[in-house]
Amino acid sequence: MRSDHIYDDSTFETFFANPPEGIEMEALDRSRIPRHISCIMDGNGRWATARGMNRGEGHKAGIVSLREIITACVRLGVEVLSAYAFSTENWKRPAAEVNLLMHLFAQTFVDELPLLKRENVRVVFLGDLSALPKRTRDVFEYGLAETSGHTGMVLALAVNYGARAELARAARLLAQDALAGKIDPCDIDEDAVASRLYTAGLPDPELIIRTSGELRLSNYLLWQAAYSEFYITRTYWPDFNRWELIDAILAFQGRDRRFGGVHNREVS
Ligand code: FPP
């Protein structure tokens, strides 16, 4: 599982060599790769259950997929890859599963830090890390510091994240700044809110991928997803790979993004 075993010196061409039937790499417009791709990594548990394995094995397999998608996004030149790893609602899961996930997060981070360093990836976290077990928080904070000077892709991991909690926090921060006289309430605009979200400074996701076929946002990036394109696949996250990612980007490139304006074909 350690990254030194899987690290490769691949280029875009070698990483995406030999696509399976049905994937048309030549159709990919490399000048129109989404700046920010976000993944709702769903279906680890069902993947495992379908194989007679326990849910923990599904999460471990999900980590392998995440690693492949990180490398794929780096090779594609994506600016930001974000991934929903643990929601504010996930605490309701059985304690054993929560504990395993927290342990896996810490272990994965230790294992993958060399990969993130070699790939010049800067890690940021979306969510309230203060509620995490100390070891997980310590490892995350170490990773944050160790990669803070990196200039390549940003990997934004949503851990103990909930969009409503994020918006309530932004409101709290704004109220505190107003009370301290730092901001006039009349000046509170969209930028003022956006700059107090966990994603401050990052572009909004252009493409949100959800695996396992569910058609919901599940309290994820509610503000940032205002104009995101959605790509839903029935594939469970542990089976999601570089080729499915290419499929998602090809679908994105086929969409007509209007941002509330007129259809492109109607513009003369
Ligand atoms: C959803 O599947 C997946 C999760 C709750 C965890 C995803 C986390 C990872 C892949 C690891 C991330 C790594 C780091 C370092 C942050 P599910 O359990 O909801 O599956 P189900 O819907 O089939 O039950």
| Digitized pLDDT (tens) for each residue of the chain, 268 residues in all | 444 445 568 999 999 999 999 999 999 999 999 999 999 999 999 999 999 999 999 999 999 999 999 999 999 999 999 999 999 999 999 999 999 999 999 999 999 999 999 999 999 999 999 999 999 999 999 999 999 999 999 999 999 999 999 999 999 999 999 999 999 999 999 999 999 999 999 999 999 999 999 999 999 999 999 999 999 999 999 999 999 999 999 999 999 877 788 766 555 4
The preferred substitution site among 1, 2, 42 for testing ligand 1, maximizing ligand atoms within 8 Å of CB, is 42
* Cα(5)–Cα(1) distance, integer angstroms: 7
What phi and psi values does residue 83 have, to the nearest 5 degrees?
Answer: -145, 135
N-to-C CA span, the chain: 54
**126, containing H or E segment:** strand 122-126
* Cα(2)–Cα(5) distance, integer angstroms: 6
Q: Is 69 in the pocket of ligand 1 (CB under 6 A)?
A: no
Give the model's pLDDT for residue 8. Answer: 67
Both tokens assigned to 12:
């875009």
> Atom 12, ligand 1: which residue's CA is nearest?
85
Q: Are 213 and 232 in contact (CB under 8 A)?
A: yes
Both tokens assigned to 91:
């605490």
Distance of CA 202 to the CA centre of its chain: 12
Give the model's pLDDT for residue 4. Answer: 45
Core vs surface per residue 232-265: b (16+ CB within 10 A) or e:
bbebbbbbbebbbbbbbbbbbeeeeeeeeeeeee
The preferred substitution site among 59, 82, 157 for testing ligand 1, maximizing ligand atoms within 8 Å of CB, is 59
Q: How many helices (H) and strands (E) are present in the chain, helices listed first?
A: 9, 6
Q: Is 266 left (phi over 0), alpha (psi -120 to 50) or beta?
A: alpha
